[in-house]
Homo-oligomer: A and B are copies of this chain.
Amino acid sequence: MVAQEVEKEPEETLQPKTDFGPPHYEIMLHPVVKKNYGKWAYHEAVRPGVIKRVAESGDVIYTVRFGTPRLLSIYTVREICEIADKYCDGYLRFTSRHNVEFILTDPDKIEPLIKEVQEKLGFPCGGTRDTTNAKYCLSNIIHTQGWVHCHTPATDASGIVKSVMDELYDYFTDYKLPAQCRISLACCANMCGAVHASDISIVGVHRKVPKIDDDAVRRTCEIPSTVAACPTGALKPDMKRKTVVLDKDKCMYCGNCYTMCPGMPIFDPDNDGVAILVAGKVSDARYPPQLSKVVVPWIGNNPPRWPEVVQTIKKILETWATHAEKYERIAEWVHRIGWERFFELTGLEFTEKLIDDYKRTPYIYASYRTSAAFRW
């Protein structure tokens, strides 16, 4: 131990350097990308996963997209780098949905690249679209930490994602959808996966009030901020007993208090699980952005592969894909056919649990324009 302390690593002796910011993006751009920056003329879908991009100058590049598990080993990242060096002059990028995109100039390298990635990394090529022909791949699922890292999850993230994507694999690698469909997952109501505006989302929900351990609260928690963290005002300070009291009727099991105060754990293996939401979107294309709507209030956790969740997602996706018109995302499809038909076609049950009773949002919000689409 002493010896080790003497042999300090250089990193341990350096003066902290702060606020220098991320690397400049320009040094990360492929020379052809840099040259044609802001001067792209058009793009064309080559095949699932591959897009050809043509610049005004006539230059051409190809982006080749692969699904990843998002949780990557640095050893995998190094393998990715090797491949990018071999095929892409050392340039690549990740997408906003956890996919990796290789940047190529030589079309002849595309197939070998795909083959090598599939073989070495097992990453499928796909996830793109051919808008002109209304042919869409499913893309990767935006997701969060779950049991891998977070302290508030009501479910795991990576495990459900893996199970769902295994089942929907062909939708990723082929153009099998009539329109864009985005699936997201967040492992608790904090919604780090931004499930509140996705075509299909899975969100972890607790269903039991936190168990208040008065001792632990006294020892470890700052009571005012714990009380303040509760969105529904279910918590009151109990100054005498130096703890908090909970109004069961007001609690909606969000776990916000638990984040502030480890003395009131929220998890409950038998009652934790996921809700399923659909019909959110954020693009302005055709139809304004929409918040997602709950269509399944709860499915219990069934690790390691959550078959009920997987089958429900698949059912929704396929019902939509079968019935939707071209370009019609779930929100637009339901808008056309009505929620009556959505429940009928998917076989999901509408219950009183699906009628909104969360009263914090003021109605004024309904009048605010949540879209950049308007007339001049």
- Using CB atoms and an 8 Å cutoff, list the residues of chain A in contact with chain B: 338, 340-341, 355-368, 374-376
Least Cβ–Cβ distance between A7 and chain B, in angstroms: 61
Among residues of B, the one whose C-beta sits closest to the C-beta of A362 is B359
Q: For A360, list chain B residues within 8 Å (CB).
A: 362
- Residues of the B chain whose Cβ atoms lie less than 8 Å from the Cβ of A355: 367
Partner of A340, one of B356, B368, B376: B376
Summarize A's interface: helix, strand, loop or mixed. Answer: loop
Query: Whole-angstrom distance between the alpha carbons of A284 and B88 in the complex?
Result: 60
- The answer to whether A361 touches B358 (Cβ under 8 A) is no
Q: Is the CB of A364 within 8 A of B357?
A: yes
* Given known contacts A341-B375, A375-B340, A359 and B364 CB-to-CB distance under 8 angstroms: yes
**How many angstroms from the CA of A304 to the CA of B177 in the assembled complex?**
66
Beyond the given A338-B374, A340-B376, A356-B364, could you list 20 further A-B residue pairs with CB under 8 A, ordered by the A residue number?
A338-B375, A340-B374, A340-B375, A341-B375, A355-B367, A356-B363, A356-B367, A356-B368, A357-B364, A358-B364, A359-B362, A359-B363, A359-B364, A360-B362, A361-B362, A361-B363, A362-B363, A363-B363, A363-B365, A366-B366
Chain B residues whose CB sits within 8 angstroms of the CB of A375 once the complex forms: 338, 340-341
Nearest Cβ distance between residue A120 and chain B, in whole angstroms? 49
Closest to A341 in B: B375
A360 to B362, CA, bound (A): 7
Q: How far does the alpha carbon of A360 sit from the alpha carbon of B363 in the complex, in Å?
A: 8
Residues of B within 8 A of A366 (CB): 363, 366
Residues of B within 8 A of A362 (CB): 359-363
Contact sample, A vs B, 13 pairs, CB 8 Å cutoff: A338-B375, A340-B374, A340-B376, A341-B375, A356-B364, A357-B364, A358-B364, A359-B362, A360-B362, A361-B362, A361-B363, A363-B363, A363-B365
Complex CA–CA separation, A364 to B375 (angstroms) = 29
The distance in angstroms between the C-alpha atoms of A375 and B338, with both chains bound, is 7
When chains A and B are docked, how far (Å) is the Cα of A356 from the Cα of B374? 19
The answer for the CA separation of A356 and B361 in the assembled complex, in Å, is 13
Cα–Cα, bound, A340→B373 (Å) = 11
Q: Provide the bound-state CA to CA distance between A356 and B365, in Å.
A: 8
Chain B nearest CB, measured from A25 CB (Å) = 36
Nearest Cβ in chain B — how far from A336, in angstroms?
11
Contacts of A364 in B (CB 8 A): 356-359, 361
Minimum CB–CB distance for A373 against chain B, Å: 10
Question: A358: nearest residue on chain B (CB-CB)?
Answer: B364
Contacts of A359 in B (CB 8 A): 362-364
Residues of B near A368 (CB, < 8 A) are 356
5 closest Cβ pairs, A-B complex: A361-B363, A356-B364, A359-B362, A366-B366, A340-B375
* A117 vs B106: C-alpha distance when bound (angstroms): 89
> What B residues does A374 contact at CB under 8 A?
338, 340
